[in-house]
A and B are shown apart, each in its own frame.
Chain A
Amino acid sequence: MPAVMVEDVSRHFGDVVAVDRVNLSIGRGEFVTLLGPSGCGKTTTLRMVAGLEQNTAGRISIGDRVVSDAAAGFFVPPDHRQLGMVFQSYAIWPHMTVFDNVAYPLRIRRRSKAEISDRVRAVLRLVEMESFADRPAPALSGGQQQRVAIARALVFEPEVLLLDEPLSNLDARLRTQMGDEFRALQKRLGITSLYVTHDQEEAMALSDRVVVMESGRILQVGAPEEIYQRPASRAVAAFFGSPNLLDAKVTGCERQTDQKFKLGITGGNWTGQCLAGEPFSEGEPVLVLVRPENVHIAANEGAPMAWSGRIKSAIFRGPRQSIVVDAAGLALNVEAPALLGANVGDQVHLNVSPAGAWAIRPDRASSATA
């Protein structure tokens, strides 16, 4: 049985549809991330699971318990849902010490003093904040506040942990560190987590599954690698980085053993091969996704998909170099090793292997798959 079930859930604000018929099932111990640009409905979805917002249609269950059913007019308020939540602002109550903050959920549940003390100490040890227990909450740094917020959300062993962009207020280095630490802790405790972020790298590094949302709808659900390498639509493909999306025609299609299809394609002055998740018939138009890091700069022209052109711009980014190559009117983004030392004006050859190119139907601009 899944830990969280979201069935056909919508949220209307007057005429505006913030969340539109979302379906999602989260398994026990799973880490699922809602990813999308701001205003895509991801936070509203999280808040509906939390009970902070009431869904106007659909049904939400946590464990075996229905917590909200719009059709039946049934709604469990947030304080009866047994959840833990980490807020974007951390929401550390400034009039309490660290200990009091973490002890709050237990005190509300009228646990004994001894139990409260034991559990709070234990959970503070877990997030390495034990020595800060008696500090007043405002005297903490951002990273420390974040640990306290996590400790507070974990202290009464909630069925599900909800996290609303918990890392977005930290600086870049701390963000990565806290993210990794949290993921390790989550795996160790096996706690079901629903996480909201707009940061693609964060989503991919932390999650078991990523849910990509846009305009209140789910575009695609899948493992980070699948979402990144084998997107179902142009929108999902375009959401990560600055990919090359090439218009092409199918020249051949053959089924492979791993339920994928290998296509022969042509784009007018170039030809090549790529993979696809569904069969295409000959002559059909396709959109070919080529990630910039899958384009290789080579000394001489190779097969099966190749271009040659002149470097239009090159930006040094430290570990790598972002290059734009003008290949007979086609502007191709290339991520190359920094050691390559490419210069503007250089004539180069570009190769892409069939595994590095993925074909999608061009008309599937924004239709949903689950």
Chain B
Amino acid sequence: MAVASGLDIGRNSTVKRIAGSALDRKALFLNHLVNFAIGRRIGVLLLIALLSFLTVYPLAMLLYGSLHSTPPGMPGVLNLDGYAQIFTTSNFLVLANTIGISFAKTIPSILLAVALAFILARTDTPARGTLEVLVTSPFFIPPILTAMAWGMLGNPQVGVLNLVWKWLTGATTSPINVYSYGGVVWHMMQYSTPFLFLFIVDAFRAMDPTLEESSRMCGASRWHTFRRITLILMLPAIVSSFVLSLMRGIESFESPLFFGLPAGITVITTEIYNAINHRATPAYQYATALSFAIMAFMFLFVVWQWRVLHGRSFATVTGKAYAPNVMKLGPWRWVTFGFCILFFIITVVLPVGQLLIGSFFRFFGFYEWDMLTLEHYVAVWQNKEFWRAFSNTMLLGVMGATATMTLGGIVAYVTVRTRWRGRRLIDVLAWMPWMMPGMVLGVGFLWAFAMLPGPIPIYGTIWALLFAYMALGTPISVRVMSNAYHQLSFDLEECSRVHGGSWWQTLWRILIALSWPSFAVGWVLTFFGIMRELSASILLYSVGSEVLSVVLLKLWSNGQAEQVSVIGLLMMLLVIFFRWVQLKLIKQRISTL
């Protein structure tokens, strides 16, 4: 009773207060409303301006540059020479190489990924949780590190694998030459298999087990059910990740750079790189025209992916957490266990082990006791360029990841949770870098920064890299944050509004408070992305703004593979640390990628 009367008193006082000032309030609210609407419009315009600077502007400059006869910043005329130069027989071979290699790596990768996803999501293989962490780990290792490690492992003269083989069999010829088509494909697979696995495994896991059970009840065998139900239901997820992996293969830079170029195999990214960095006079117009052409080509892929994805992609993912049926494998479960471990050994233990060994010997390839040394650690410690690159990478990583995730969080909010005017434009702008390879974006920004009016000196500073990283990271950050928002029902937000929370209070206390683990996971993902970025960095760095991947490449070109190993190990420590943080966060039950 005491409570009831307390409530009554409160209500009466509220009523009096309102009755006394109804008119004032009306004016106040009108004011408030108008301010809010104007503030919102300005906010949306600012967002569009920022996103345009990150995407439309470099793209427009790419088009301009491809028609411009001289390098950025020099007077020239507009003509079509760049495009005329593209259409040569050798470029046709380049295109065939690019697409062929991408298919050659995607098909075995997807078979492996489906096998691994099935083993880890749907069988009783022991230690599946740990295995999943091991199997996905190559995804988080910068490809430049594994490329260098495999360059040492599979070197036809002094590679460890060849040495071991010769020692075991007494043969005199080397069976493995990593500088070949096979080498390029092999290296790409190590990265794309875990990438595809991450996409597919959730679809396997999110499947409603009753769909399979009802097939069994209709008299279908387990194998029949797998073929006709499970696999078909997985098909949208598999096909869409296949297309995605193909696109990533076309954009890939490290593998063809390390294993293709020495063997005379050129793909589009390395052709662009060569035209700018490895010719007596950099052929900017040609490189830019090629970049623009490849972007148009990627656009076709995006359209294809969009058509494949549309309407079918989430057929089985209902957002409900299922406990899928687990197949009992009996003694075979140790075979599947061994399969996963083998994958981990080949993709992680071998290359990282090579870096470890390489860092302690005076010359890699000459593994004698008297060659053991710590001199490379000392050399790296004293290398000023390394420290500068290290601090640049850290600074860019922290700033870039924070800025990209904040931008992604805002873009995702506007596009997923509001019905504001302009949100579709924002969505498209933020998604555009999805079809721009890092190399192409790098060329675009090269022109973009050179064309900025004089008093804005971005080119040659680390800001140039920051903008490129933000542009490259935005599609993923938007994806991570919109997934996070999708999981929160509108009620949670609306409930806060009805109970007195303003727009900002609701954003802060409900949405951000609920989705910060996703924010953190995305942050780490973006940080990884920045740490491993090579193709845009190599075009946009200048003395003083080097990053680790660029320094690694320079050392490698100078033949200092041993110092490369030391730096590579340091980067591995960073990777392990951040991956550990990320896994801790994911444990608190928030979505992965």
Interface residues of A (CB under 8 A from B): 50-52, 63-66, 74-85, 87-91, 93-95, 104-105, 108-109, 122-123, 125-126, 152-154, 156-157, 159, 162, 188-190
Contact = CB atoms under 8 A, between A and B. Distances in A.
Given A64-B18, A88-B491, A108-B505, A94 B499 contact: no
A44 to B, nearest CB: 13
B22 interface: yes
Given A85-B494, A105-B500, 8 more contacts: A64-B18, A65-B25, A77-B497, A79-B498, A83-B498, A85-B498, A89-B489, A91-B492
21 contacts: A50-B498, A51-B497, A52-B497, A63-B18, A77-B33, A77-B497, A77-B503, A78-B497, A79-B501, A79-B505, A82-B500, A87-B495, A89-B489, A93-B492, A93-B510, A93-B514, A104-B496, A104-B501, A108-B505, A157-B14, A188-B4
Contacts of B587: none
Contacts of A50: 494, 498
Nearest to B515: A95
Contacts of A79: 497-503, 505
Interface in B272-292: none
Contact of A91 (B10, B18, B491): B491
Contact of A75 (B7, B11, B33): B33
B3 interface: yes
B487 to A, nearest CB: 10
B7 A91 contact: no
A101 to B, nearest CB: 9
A163 to B, nearest CB: 12
B518 to A, nearest CB: 12
B38 interface: no
B143 to A, nearest CB: 37
A88 B494 CA distance: 12
Contact of B498 (A51, A76, A93): A51
A105 B499 contact: yes
Contact of B494 (A63, A64, A91): A91
Contacts of B513: 95
Contacts of B514: 93-95
Contacts of A65: 18, 22, 25
B500 A159 contact: no
B498 A126 contact: no
A79 B499 CA distance: 6
A76 B494 CA distance: 15
Contacts of A83: 498-499
Given A66-B26, A79-B497, A126 B19 contact: no
A94 B487 CA distance: 12
B129 interface: no
B18 A126 contact: no
B7 A189 contact: yes
Contacts of B32: 77, 80
Contacts of B6: 122
Contacts of B510: 93
B303 interface: no
Given A95-B513, A157-B11, A159-B14, A152 B499 contact: yes
B332 interface: no
B30 interface: yes
A103 to B, nearest CB: 11
A159 B8 CA distance: 11
A144 B26 CA distance: 39
Interface string B15-36: 1001100100110011011001
Contact of B11 (A64, A81, A94, A159): A159
B491 A76 contact: no
B33 to A, nearest CB: 6
A91 B489 contact: yes
B7 to A, nearest CB: 5
Interface residues of B, number: 38
A74 B25 CA distance: 12
A81 B22 CA distance: 13
A78 B494 CA distance: 9
A95 B512 CA distance: 11
Nearest to B506: A79
Contacts of B15: 63, 159
B499 A153 contact: yes
A80 B489 contact: no
A64 B497 contact: no
B29 A76 contact: yes
Contacts of A63: 15, 18-19
A189 B4 contact: yes
B3 A162 contact: no
A234 to B, nearest CB: 36
Contacts of A188: 4
A63 B21 CA distance: 13
Contacts of A93: 492, 495-496, 510, 514
A118 B315 CA distance: 49
Contacts of B496: 93, 104
Contacts of A108: 499-501, 505
A148 to B, nearest CB: 11
Nearest to B510: A93
A77 B503 CA distance: 9
A74 B7 contact: no
Given A64-B19, A94-B514, A109-B500, A126 B494 contact: no
Contacts of B11: 157, 159
Interface string B61-74: 00000000000000
A74 B30 contact: yes
A163 B494 CA distance: 13
B3 to A, nearest CB: 5
Nearest to B13: A157
B20 to A, nearest CB: 10
B503 to A, nearest CB: 8
A66 B29 CA distance: 11
Given A66-B26, A82-B14, A125 B3 contact: yes
A79 B500 CA distance: 4
Among all A-B residue pairs, the 7 with the closest Cβ atoms: A91-B491, A91-B495, A105-B499, A78-B497, A85-B498, A157-B10, A108-B500
A126 B3 contact: yes
B559 to A, nearest CB: 54
Nearest to B493: A91
A89 B492 CA distance: 9
Contacts of B502: 77, 79
Which of A108, A125, A162, A190 counts the most chain B CB atoms within 10 A? A108
Contacts of A74: 26, 29-30, 33
A324 B242 CA distance: 60
B8 to A, nearest CB: 8
B494 A52 contact: yes
A187 to B, nearest CB: 11
A75 B496 CA distance: 18
Contacts of A153: 499
B32 to A, nearest CB: 8
Contacts of B3: 122-123, 125-126
B589 to A, nearest CB: 10
B498 A52 contact: yes
A76 B498 CA distance: 11
Interface in B438-486: none
B526 to A, nearest CB: 23
B498 A80 contact: no
Nearest to B494: A52
B35 to A, nearest CB: 12
Contacts of B503: 77, 79
A76 B32 CA distance: 9
A125 B6 CA distance: 14
Interface in B498-536: 498-503, 505, 509-510, 513-514
Which of A50, A79, A87, A153 counts the most chain B CB atoms within 10 A? A79
A157 B503 CA distance: 22
Nearest to B500: A108
A153 B513 CA distance: 21
Nearest to B28: A80
